[in-house]
Chain A
């Protein structure tokens, strides 16, 4: 249990470090993957709603503190994303990689939609921003992130010593 916690703390830390250091390097036409959401996805789908909510909140808050222009925006969106993913907990239902991929896409849409809604509400941006943002930013970002998430799938498929599937 403790080793699991340590492992996930490390995963989130590495994701955060890569997100701020490595990801800008692999940006394509201004679109970059969101490793934190990918990591949160795999965490929440494994541990359920409540861990998903709190870890999502903590990750979002960490991201907000890193750039505190809109404190609480990422905390809110990642909390909701964590809660949503937690509903599809692996203990409750089995999901194959295809379902997971679709879920991840939905999570991205929910996350970004909420993000844009907060932005519209706070800054008074036009509502068209939401749709435009979802189409031009969210979808490419989600697809890019899913492509990166494939690496997680591959990691998951590698047989680990002492674990019988």
Chain B
């Protein structure tokens, strides 16, 4: 055995050549089936690590590409879900509005709030209906939850609504249960109150509706609920803190009630009287 090793070492060039040539000839001498088998074994043992590495690399590349595609799909689907969800909510609101419109005895003009006044001074909103739809100043505006304000300026296709949040806006209201009348007002646009006479029949939780006496809102529109009663410094009055029914932060769709102010005819008559008096004085 030792002499074989010694021979190989001393004649390593020839031995190496012989070894590889014999291996080559052995492979060549096999029939096609044997050659294929040897090729398969060699391919598997020699190329498998590389193949595995390339497969893994390709797989990682595929995963990265798939991840990118999934992210895009996810973003698209999120947008679609948001749109569908929004459409669903809008559908609910419009269905509710439709129900209100059907049961309400006045002619209602549905409108969408397109601009909200960001300032805390006027507290107004602009809606997408105007003269074109037959709107006039002082027409009341409401939501499905109750009174929201009145129109103060009418343009061709838009109108400005003064919300009841506006401190300059005062609304004549009454307690639905006891018919006690008061004026719904606010000083800061967020805290609403009504000053009642000290002995007025008002309880916490009472529903407040419009009285119809102001000449603008029809009688019976929901305005709010009594949240708290406070004793005033003046013993003649007591103050009822009111929570409005309308969520003014989420004002999206409204109705305009096509009602001319009840005092309009009086005003007309008064104006004509004043004009005739001045004419007589001039003569």
Q: Which residues of B contact A53 (CB under 8 A)?
A: 13, 16-17, 20
Distance between A91 CB and nearest chain B CB, rounded to angstroms:
14
| B35: interface (CB < 8 Å) | yes
Q: A49-B16, A76-B21, A83-B17 are in contact. Are A65 and B39 (CB under 8 A)?
A: yes
Contact surface of B with A, Cβ cutoff 8 Å: 12-13, 16-17, 20-21, 23-28, 30, 35-36, 38-39, 42-43, 46-47
Chain A residues with CB under 8 Å of B25's CB are 72, 76
Contacts of A76 in B (CB 8 A): 21, 24-25, 28
The reply to whether A49 and B35 contact each other, CB–CB distance below 8 Å, is no
Considering the complex, which residues of chain A in the window 30-58 have a beta carbon less than 8 Å from any beta carbon of chain B?
Answer: 49-50, 53-54, 56-57
What 5 new A-B contacts, CB under 8 Å, besides A79-B17, A83-B17?
A: A71-B30, A71-B38, A72-B25, A75-B24, A83-B16
Interface centre among B16, B20, B43, B47 (most CB of A within 10 A): B20
How many A-B residue contacts, CB cutoff 8 Å?
66
Kindly state the separation between the CA atoms of A79 and B27 in the bound complex, as whole angstroms. 14
CA gap between A53 and B11 in the complex, in Å = 14
* Closest A residue, CB atoms, query B42: A65
Contacts of A68 in B (CB 8 A): 35-36, 39
Asked if A149 lies at the interface with its beta carbon under 8 angstroms from chain B, I say no
Complex Cα–Cα for A153 and B211 (A) = 106
Determine how close the nearest CB of chain B comes to the CB of A67; give it in whole angstroms.
10
Contacts of A57 in B (CB 8 A): 20, 23-24
Instruction: Write the nearest CB–CB distance from B29 to chain A, whole angstroms.
Output: 8
Contact B17 A122 (CB under 8 A): no
In the bound assembly, the distance between CA atoms of A65 and B24 in angstroms comes to 12
Known contacts A76-B24, A76-B28; is-contact A71 B39 (Cβ 8 Å): yes
Which residue of chain A lies nearest to B29 when distances are taken between CB atoms in the complex?
Answer: A72
- Asked if B17 and A71 make an inter-chain contact with CB atoms under 8 angstroms apart, the answer reads no
CB < 8 Å neighbour of B27 from A50, A62, A75? A75
Choice from A71, A80, A86 contacting B35 with Cβ under 8 Å:
A71
Q: Are A50 and B28 in contact (CB under 8 A)?
A: no
